[in-house]
Amino acid sequence: MRIGLFALGVLGAIFGPPVLPLIAMAVSAIRYPAWEILLLGLLVDFLWLPAFPVSLPLFTIASLALLWGLEPMRREFMAGESGLPGW
């Protein structure tokens, strides 16, 4: 599932609308400790970032926010699924 979400994000970055990689990144970040979403954010920014000197890498910033911002929520969901607190 994790590889499939990454592949969906890469294909969405190349061929699809911008919301498709963002959805794949969010689902991966909620479900897994997915470092590949940072690679996906970098890929989208390299493909779509305009050549202006003042342009923000929005997908890289979003991937960092998803990766570290959703970590406590992901841990809470994972602890709730196993039935053991902290596992």
* Whether 66 contacts 26, CB under 8 Å: yes
Q: Which residue has the higher pLDDT, 52 or 41?
A: 41
The pLDDT of residue 84: 47
Which residue reads 């998803």 in tokens?
66
Q: Look-up: residue for tokens 């841990």?
A: 75
pTM: 0.77
Please tell me what DSSP assigns to residue 83.
Answer: S
Taking only the tens place, the pLDDT of each residue in 6-38 is 999 999 999 999 899 999 999 998 888 888 999
